[in-house]
A and B are shown apart, each in its own frame.
Chain A
Amino acid sequence: MALCEAEKTFVLHGVEENFRIDGREREDYRPMELETSIVSHAFGSARLRLANTDVLVAVKIEVDIPFPEKPNEGKIEFFVDCSANATPDFEGRGGEDLAIELSNSLSTAYQSSRAFDLSKLCILKGRKCWKIYVDILLLECGGNLFDAVSLAVKAALWNAQLPLVKSVHVDGNNIEMDVSEELYDCQKLDIKNAPVMVTVCKIGDYCIVDPNQAEEKCSVGSIVVAVSGDRLSTVLQTGAGSLHPTTLVESMKLGHTVGQRLNQALWEALQQIPEDQDVGFLK
């Protein structure tokens, strides 16, 4: 989508006035819609819709052998699939760069053990651990992908059920695991500190969050801030353009405060989800 100079000026002045083209203030988000347990084959799943952006996340869990350098830890991996359903540009290898960028940002954001404790996924030191595969499918792209993806990932991990291991027997090289047969005897993952990401866009002299596509076009530079609890777990710059150090600091501050609010909002939404919900999709 191209924009002409006059439209850009209109957006720019609006941001300066703290009154954006859809009536939001600089720190406001558009309403979002969340749905969990929608894929029955997955251990946990979630779908998040933010304006025109639609993300589906499914979590699969498998038994694996821990890395030799980290014998006490399980594994988590993120895979992003830019479906050509979202835009024809993703056809073939078109979405590869975006997919790598998204999955890398997620894995660095989840790297610290304070954000997500992998040692809880260890079953037997050096021998057996759980491996979590987080598959992210972009169904529709309407801007602000990082925020939507991180929220959906967090919701899917919240929804995930880790099978309960009752006992482990070691017999030479054989390891036998006794997994609870009760279907509902599951553990939940601890995701209280799992990071959510906020994209902060600089337009003119000010910074905004949750840019729509027109605003993304006007941006001179943007950073993604991943907030875990009250700490920052990742900050990275995206898109072309550079920032003055003071602007960088200011946008990190903005991302930090908004990220905490976003976390709170997600948490409240997750609490509202009824326990005995039917599995469904696009209700």
Chain B
Amino acid sequence: MSKKIHIRLANHRVNSSVAVYSRVPKIFTPGEIITPQNEFMRGHGTYEEDGNLKSSVAGVREQVNNLISIRPLKSRYNGEVGDVVVGRITEVQQKRWKIDTNSRLDSVLLLSSVNLPGGELRRRSVEDEHMMRQYLQEGDLISAEVQSVYSDGSLSLHTRSLKYGKLGQGVLLKVFPSLVKRSKTHFHNLPVGASVILGNNGFIWICPTIVNSEDSVGGFIQNLEEVIPRQQRETIARLRNCILSLTQSKMLVFDTSILYAYEESLKYEICELLQPEAMVDVALLTQQRLCMLEE
């Protein structure tokens, strides 16, 4: 391990872009006319003025049938029912928890939408209300699913499945929500020896592999005694740095891209992955492998 401290000059900054396609899609800027007709439906990131549909954010156009929306690169998370999210408790209130999920408003988790210890069908008593802080307190992390979206856009979450619940030891990463690819499952037990939860809201949780998912997740117990062995730590740290490399180069994060990046990064020491050159290199190699996969 080199004990060297790296101070680089700004002239030597590396360009982190790895775009291989020469075709850049049309980028709309706020106020730009998308289409003069008004037979289209107004989606997110657009507004109507003088019969024209205009963009309100900088981003690319997306069209589903008659619905036109502009998707920006950076945005707060727009929740949809069924999304998997990772969030942090910010406040304990009467019969509900407030949760920071990187969306515009704080999300809520109702006491009635969690599985309390002692069976699913247990009645919620007054004691449970007093015990709320014992289950989840400020600062705790949870994984959950979006149950419904209120009219003001705030989300209501639920953890009524054994795979959701309080998170134990691990590392949280925050990336742009748009960089997390939507897929069937967002819980991955990677073959390299760690689990990741890719929250749709851009919060990514990396933790040691969960062996028997029945009794470790879904509950409110954290094992603070357990010391995670060095080898697993290395895997987690490498995954963390790989995901950061991908997001630095604005590449989508999903199980295959993470695995490829992990494999490509093996030629570097873990802490070398903090260097910009190594980060771009990993991202580039991953990009190439993903392209080959498509072909």
Contacts and interface: CB of A to CB of B under 8 A. Distances in A.
A125 interface: no
A9 B169 contact: yes
Interface of B: 1, 3-11, 13, 88, 90, 137-141, 167-172, 222-224, 227-228, 230, 233-234, 236-238, 240-241, 269-271, 273-276
Given A5-B222, A6-B224, A35-B9, 13 more contacts: A2-B139, A4-B141, A5-B224, A10-B170, A20-B237, A21-B171, A22-B274, A23-B273, A31-B6, A33-B7, A33-B9, A265-B7, A272-B9
A7 interface: yes
Contacts of B230: 17, 19
A283 B3 contact: no
A47 to B, nearest CB: 8
B169 A7 contact: yes
Given A7-B172, A19-B237, A24-B271, A269 B9 contact: yes
Most buried by B among A17, A31, A268: A31
B139 A4 contact: yes
A262 interface: yes
A81 interface: no
A22 B9 contact: no
Nearest to B136: A4
A30 interface: yes
A63 interface: no
A13 B7 contact: no
A160 to B, nearest CB: 18
20 contacts: A2-B88, A2-B138, A4-B137, A4-B141, A10-B228, A14-B233, A21-B171, A23-B241, A23-B269, A23-B270, A23-B271, A23-B273, A23-B274, A24-B271, A28-B271, A35-B9, A261-B4, A261-B5, A269-B8, A277-B11
Contact of B238 (A3, A23, A268, A269): A23
A243 interface: no
A24 B234 CA distance: 10
B138 A34 contact: no
A6 B276 CA distance: 30
Most buried by B among A9, A151, A264, A282: A9
Given A10-B228, A13-B227, A23-B237, A31 B274 contact: yes
Contacts of B269: 23
A268 B137 CA distance: 48
A274 B9 CA distance: 10
Sort chain A's interface into a size bin: 35 or more
Given A23-B271, A25-B271, A10 B171 contact: yes
A17 B274 CA distance: 19
Contacts of A282: 10
A29 interface: yes
Given A29-B6, A31-B275, A7 B170 contact: yes
A29 B4 CA distance: 8
Contacts of A19: 230, 233-234, 237
Nearest to B222: A6
Contacts of B1: 25
Given A22-B274, A30-B274, A261 B3 contact: yes
Nearest to B272: A23
Contacts of B11: 274, 277, 283
A6 to B, nearest CB: 4
List the 8 closest A-B pairs by CB distance, nearest first.
Answer: A23-B270, A2-B139, A35-B10, A265-B5, A269-B7, A23-B237, A10-B169, A31-B6
Nearest to A268: B7
Contacts of A5: 139, 222, 224
A20 B230 CA distance: 10
Contact of B8 (A20, A29, A33, A47): A33
A105 to B, nearest CB: 21
Contact of A265 (B6, B90, B172): B6
Contacts of A261: 3-5
B168 A6 contact: yes
